Structure 1
Amino acid sequence: MPSPVNALGQARSSRSNMAPDTCCCSAVALQRRLPILAWLPDYSLQWLKMDFIAGLSVGLTVIPQALAYAEVAGLPPQFGLYSAFMGCFVYFFLGTSRDVTLGPTAIMSLLVSFYTFHEPAYAVLLAFLSGCIQLAMGFLRLGFLLDFISCPVIKGFTSAATVTIGFGQIKNLLGLQNIPRQFFLQVYHTFLSIGETRVGDAVLGLVCMVLLLVLKLMRDHVPPVHPEMPPGVRLSHGLVWTATTASQNNYRVDANQELLAIGLTNVLGSLVSAYPVTGSFGRTAVNAQSGVCTPAGGLVTGALVLLSLDYLTSLFYYIPKAALAAVIIMAVAPLFDTKIFGTLWRVKRLDLLPLVVTFLLCFWEVQYGILAGTLVSLLILLHAVARPKTQVSEGLVLVLQPASGLHFPAIEALREAVLKRALEGPPRRCVVLECTHVSCIDYTVVLGLGDLLEDLHRQGAALVFVGLQVPVLRALLAADLKGFQHFSTLEEAEKYLQQDPGTQPYNSCDDPVPEHKIALLKA
C-alpha cells in the first residue's frame, strides 16, 4: 500500500490516480453530513444498555415538560408532545453530539407565544418557516454568525426570559383569569387581581413546587449507587435522580451541522403539528448524566413520547394548570444566573453594558433585547478595533507599540497620536513603531503610514519600524513607501535614530532585508 505522501504525489500528477483520495474525502464528507455513519459500525450491546437507560430518563423528563411548555407557548398541551418526538429521530441521523436532545424548551415556547396569538396553525407555520431558514443557514455554513452573540447577551436574555416565564405562570398558580401576556401589563393586573386568588389552585401549585424542591434536595443528598445495593434501593435511587435532574451541560458541537439537524426537525415537525424546537439545556444534562453513549438514546425517548400521545391524550384535559405552572417555574428557575453580574464586575465591567441592555429590553420585547444587546457587543468590539491600546515609552526616541492589530478604522487615530507626541515640543523626537503584535494590515493602513512618514520628515523627524512580521513587511515593501526603514530589534532602530535624521537620505532603505525574508517576499 503506498504511503500518504506517495499517494498525494500520484494524485497531483495524474487524474486517473485521484480515485482513492476522492473516495476517502467523500467518505469523510458523508460522515460529516451523516454522523450516524461514524458510530453505528462500532455499536455494541453495552452502548445499547446505556442508551436505553438515558433515553428512558429523558423521556420521563420531556413528557411533563412538553405539556407545560405548550402552556407557555399559548397552545393546547398536546402540541408540546407533538413537538417532542421528531427531533429524537432526526438527531439520530444528523446529530454531532451524543448528549444533545431536541424538543420544546421554555425560552423557545416564550418566543413562539409572541407570534402565534394562541393559534396552533400559526405555530405550525412558524416551525416550517424557521426550519427552512435554519436549513439554508446550515447549507451556507453561516453557523459562524452565532459567534457574534456574546455570553453577556445570552446570559441577559436567558435571565430575562426566566423572569418573564416564571412570573407568567403566577396567574395559573393562583387561578387568576383574564391576565394579559405583555410582561408589564401582566405584573400590573396580577397584583391588581391578587384578591381573586382561587385557594384550591394556589394550594395545589405550592404543594407541587414544594414536592419538586424536596425531590431536588433528595437528589443532592442521595448517596451514590453501589452494585451491592438491593434492587429496590437502586430502583428508587434511579427514580429520584431521574425525576429531579435541571443542570446545564457545556458541550461543543458543529454549529453548521446542528443548524441542519434543527432545521430539518422543524420542517418535518411542522408536518405533525409541531411548533419550533431547539436543543434543551436541562434534558441534555439528563442525557449526559444518564451515561448516554450515542444519539440512539433519542429513539427510546421518541418512542416513549409517541406512546404517551397514543394512550394518554384523552387525559391531558384533566391536568391542572397549577401543577403545570409549578413544573415550569421549577424548571426555569435555575436558568437565572445570579452570579453573572458580580463576575462581570470583577472580570470586565464594560461587558455589563450588553448584559443590562439585553436584560431590560427583553421585558419589552424579547427579540428587541437580543438585537440591542448584540448591537452593543458589536459596537464594543468595533471600538476596540478602531482604538487599539498602544504602549508608549517616552525618551529621546518615542517608542509606540500597538497592543493588537492595525486596521483601517485605527490608522487616523494612530497618526494623530504619533504626530502629537513626537512634535508637541522641542526638540522634535523620532519615532519607533514596534509592530510585534501586528499580524496583518490593509491598504488604508499602508496609505496612512505613508502619510505619517512624509509628515514627520517635513518636521525634521523620522519614523522607523521594528519587529515586522512577514505579511506586514511584504505589504509595506510592495507599497514602496518613501523613506521606509525597518529593523529587527529596538536597539538597532534607536542606534540608527540617534544619528542626525537630517543627514539620512529620505528615499533610502539602508537596512537590507534578510535573505530568508527576501525568499518569502518573492514567493
Structure 2
Amino acid sequence: MIGCSCSNTPTKKRRIIKLSFESPQHSHNSFNKNEGVNHFLISITETEIIWLKLDSMEALLLQVYQPCTTSDKEVVEKKPTSLIRQKLQQYIPILEWLPNYKWKEHFHGDVIAGLTVGIMHVPQGMAYASLAGVPPVYGMYSSFFASSIYMFFGTARHISIGVFAVASMMVGAARLRLAPDLPLSASNASSVNPADYPLGEPIDPLIFTSALTLLVGVVQVIMGVLRLGFLTTYLSDTLVSGFTTGAAVHVFTSQLNKVLGVKLPRHEGIGMIVRMYRDMILSLGSVNFVALGISIFGILFLDLGRTFINPMVKKFSPIPPPLELILVILGVIISQIFNLHDSYDIKTVYNIPRGFPSPSIPRLDFLPALISDAVPIAVVCYMFVMSMGKLFAKKHKYKTDATQELYAIGIASALSSFFPVYPVGASLSRSSVCEMSGANTQLYTVFSSLLLLTVILLLGPFLEPLPMCILACIVIVSLKSLFMQVKELPRLYKISKYDCAIWLVACLSTVLTDVTTGLVISLVFALFTLVLRQQWPTFSNEVLHDETPRQHIPEGVEIVRFGGALHFANVTLFLDKMSESIGRVPEGESLIEGRTIILDGSPIANVDTMGVDALRDVFNDSKKSGVQLFYCGLPEDVLSVLRNDENFSSVVPSSTFFSSIDQCLLSLSQQQSV
C-alpha cells in the first residue's frame, strides 16, 4: 500500500508527494522488487484521485511538481465541501455536465435536435392528450413541464421525455373508471348523487390527472430510495413487446370513433375491446364520411411519407421532415377554408387557451384510491425511460444510472403535478428522431421546451380549427411499429417456446382485459415461466465436449449434463434422471473397465441443502450399483459449499472431482494403463 502526504515549500511553491510502501506479504515496512505488480492510491489534491499500476519498485521514485497554495489543514477542512459537491452532482447531474459542456462540438447538434423534437411535441402532445381524456393543450403542458425538469436530474442524453401512447391510454382508463364522463368544470355537479362516483364526488378530469401524476412521481421516487430499479429486469423484451402490441390494439380502437366521426361509449374491464367493436358496428349507419375521408388522407399522408419521403430525405439530412406538423397545418387550413366544424359537423380542438393555468396543490384526500393505478403507470413510464436510455447509451458509449433515472422521472412528475398535467415517460419516436438529429446532451431540451413555450403562449389559438380526426391519424400511424412486433413470433417460437408463450399471454391478456390488468397478468406469467424453467431444466446424455467428441468417449462411460441450478424444486427430477442413467450404463470392454458416469456440472450455478444431499445420495446409489461417478466442471462456489458440508465430504472423496471432462477421461485412461 502506498500512503502519501503533502507539504508546502513556500519558496518554490512545489507540492511534494511523500510515498510509503507496505508490502502485502509482510507486516513490516520493506521493499521487495520481486513481489510483482502492485496498485497504489495517490491523492494529489482534495478532489483528484489517481490510480497507478507500478511494475517495479523503481517507479516509487516519483515526484509531482504542482503549485500548492493551501496547507494540509485547509485541504482537510475543504473535504466536507467536496463531498457535498459530489453528492449534489450525483443527484443533480446537470451540475456536473453543464460546466464541462463542449459548446463548439455539441451546441449546434443540440439546437437542431431540440427544435426538431419540439416540433414533434406539438402534434403528439395534442393527439395523446385525447387518450388520457383531457383537452389537447394539456398534453403540451405535460411534455413541457416534465421534460424541462427532467433535464436537471436525468442521465440519459438522447431520450425525449413527454407524453406517449401507452401511458396516456392507462391514464385514460383510470380516469374513465374513477372520474367517469365529467365536464371540465364540476361547479354544476352539486345536484349529482355522490354515490354515483367511485371517489365519492364528481371530480374534474384535470384535478384527477394532477393527483395521479403526483402519486406516480412519489411512487417512482420511493422506488429510487429503495433501489427497486432492478425490478424492471423482470419485464423482459419479450414481455414488453407483447404487452405494447396489446396496448396498441386498445389505443387504435379508442381512435376509431374520431376517424369515423361517430360518438361511441367507452368501456372498461374484461372484454372491453369486444364491446367497443360491437358498438362501432352498430354505429356504422351514422358515419361522417367527410371525417372518414380526411382520416384516410391523413393516414396515407403520414404512412407513405414515412415509407418513401423519409428515406429520400435521409440521404441528404439526418433530420426527417416534420410530417405530423405539416399534416396539422394542412388540417387547420382546410378546416378554416371549408368551415368543417359548422358545415360538416367535424369535431375540432375548439379551445386552446393562451398561457399556463395557475399552479395549485393537487388533491391529496383521494390519493389512496389511486394507488392501484399509480403503481403500474409508474412502472411502465420508468420502463420506457430505461429501455430507451439504455439503447442510446449503449450506442453512444455512456452510462445511465437506473436509480437516478427513477429519481429524475419521479421528481419531474411530482413537481409538474402542481399544474394540470398527466404522467409522462420516454417516447420511442421522438427519442429516435432526437438521436438522429444530432443531440449530444440534455441541453437540447432547452430548445424543444422553448418551441413548446412559444406555441403555448402565442400560437395556441391558431390550432383551434384543427379536426380531431387529424390527431387520431397521428396516433394511429405512430402505432405501426408496435403492430409490426407480431413479426417476432416465428423467431421466438424457434428459439424459445417459453418466450413465445410469454409474448402471446402478454398480448392477449392485454387485449382481452385492459392495459393495467394485462401488465399484471403478463408479469405473473413471466415469473411463472422462470419457476417452470428452474423446475424442469434440461438433462442430457448427448453431451458433446469441444475437445472430446462423442466418438472419442470410450465404451462403458456415460456423460450426462444437468442444465441448471440444483435446488429443492428439481432434486426429484435430478435423482430420477440419474437413476435412469445409472441403470443403462453399458459394461466397458476396451479403455475403461466397469461402468462409469461423468456428471457435467458446469451449468449447476448453485445448490441448496437438498441439492447437496441429492449429489451425495446419487453417489451412494451409483456406488451400490457398481458404477463409478465423477463430478466435472462444478463452479467454485458450488465446490466450496460441498467442501464445507461434513455430511457430503465424509462420503464423497475429493478424487471424484475434476475441472473438466477431458481431465477426467485422461485420469481414467492413466489409471487403466497402470
Query: TM-score by structure 1 length?
Result: 0.83
CA separation of 1:450 and 1:323: change in aligned 2, threshold 3 A: same
Match of 2:452 in 1: 305
Match of 2:640 in 1: 474
Does residue 171 of the first structure (1) align with residue 257 of the second (2)? yes
Distance 2:401 2:261 in 1: 44
CA separation of 1:278 and 1:240: change in aligned 2, threshold 3 A: closer
Does residue 197 of the first structure (1) align with residue 256 of the second (2)? no
Match of 1:335 in 2: 482
Alignment-mate amino acid for residue 392 of structure 2: Y
Match of 1:35 in 2: 93
Does residue 115 of the first structure (1) align with residue 193 of the second (2)? no
Gaps of 5+ in 2: 1-16, 20-37, 50-72, 181-204, 328-386, 394-399, 543-552, 588-593
Distance 2:136 2:412 in 1: 20
Higher mean C-alpha deviation, range 203-212 or range 66-75: 203-212
Task: Write out per-residue CA displacement over residues 202-226 of structure 1, whole angstroms, 9 at most, x where no aligned residue.
Answer: 2222222233234323222236338
Higher mean C-alpha deviation, range 341-350 or range 159-168: 341-350
Match of 1:264 in 2: 411
Q: How far is 1:495 from its partner?
A: 5.6
Does residue 358 of the first structure (1) align with residue 506 of the second (2)? yes
Distance 1:267 1:439 in 2: 42
How does 1:436-475 map onto structure 2 within 5 Å? 436-475=602-641
Distance 1:99 1:380 in 2: 34
Match of 1:389 in 2: 538
Q: How far is 1:116 from its partner?
A: 1.0
Cα-Cα RMSD: 3.4
Does residue 213 of the first structure (1) align with residue 303 of the second (2)? yes
Does residue 433 of the first structure (1) align with residue 607 of the second (2)? no
Alignment-mate amino acid for residue 490 of structure 1: C
Task: Write out per-residue CA displacement over residues 353-375 of structure 1, whole angstroms, 9 at most, x where no aligned residue.
Answer: 11111111112211222222222
Alignment-mate amino acid for residue 202 of structure 1: L
CA separation of 1:396 and 1:37: change in aligned 2, threshold 3 A: same
Match of 1:57 in 2: 116
Alignment-mate amino acid for residue 242 of structure 2: G
Task: Write out per-residue CA displacement over residues 212-250 of structure 1, whole angstroms, 9 at most, x where no aligned residue.
Answer: 234323222236338xxxxxxx9xx875579589xx963
Does residue 420 of the first structure (1) align with residue 479 of the second (2)? no
Q: Quick check: 1:130–1:276 contact (8 Å CA) kept in 2?
A: yes
State the SS of the aligned residue for 1:65.
helix
Distance 1:401 1:420 in 2: 13
Does residue 88 of the first structure (1) align with residue 147 of the second (2)? yes
Does residue 158 of the first structure (1) align with residue 248 of the second (2)? no
Alignment-mate amino acid for residue 414 of structure 1: F
Match of 2:7 in 1: none
Distance 1:24 1:497 in 2: 66
Q: Quick check: 1:77–1:316 contact (8 Å CA) kept in 2?
A: no
Distance 2:42 2:532 in 1: 46
State the SS of the aligned residue for 2:99.
helix
Bigger proportion of residues as helix: 1
Task: Write out per-residue CA displacement over residues 38-82 of structure 1, whole angstroms, 9 at most, x where no aligned residue.
Answer: 421222144222212111111110111111111111111122112
State the SS of the aligned residue for 1:463.
strand
Larger Rg, first or second structure (1 or 2): 2
Alignment-mate amino acid for residue 664 of structure 2: L
Alignment-mate amino acid for residue 275 of structure 2: L
Q: Quick check: 1:344–1:351 contact (8 Å CA) kept in 2?
A: yes
CA separation of 1:439 and 1:497: change in aligned 2, threshold 3 A: farther
Q: Quick check: 1:397–1:494 contact (8 Å CA) kept in 2?
A: no
How does 1:490-501 map onto structure 2 within 5 Å? 490-491=664-665, 494=668
Task: Write out per-residue CA displacement over residues 402-451 of structure 1, whole angstroms, 9 at most, x where no aligned residue.
Answer: 23443442322112211232146997955332323334333331122223
Distance 2:538 2:80 in 1: 48
Q: Quick check: 1:34–1:93 contact (8 Å CA) kept in 2?
A: yes
CA separation of 1:298 and 1:163: change in aligned 2, threshold 3 A: same
CA separation of 1:298 and 1:366: change in aligned 2, threshold 3 A: same
Distance 1:345 1:242 in 2: 36
Q: Quick check: 2:213–2:421 contact (8 Å CA) kept in 1?
A: yes
Q: How far is 1:271 from its partner?
A: 0.8
State the SS of the aligned residue for 1:406.
coil
Task: Write out per-residue CA displacement over residues 242-294 of structure 1, whole angstroms, 9 at most, x where no aligned residue.
Answer: 9589xx96324432222111111111121111111111111111111110111
Gaps of 5+ in 1: 227-233, 500-523
Distance 2:424 2:635 in 1: 48
Match of 2:392 in 1: 251
Higher mean C-alpha deviation, range 212-221 or range 192-201: 212-221
The total of aligned residue pairs comes to 484
Distance 1:323 1:209 in 2: 9
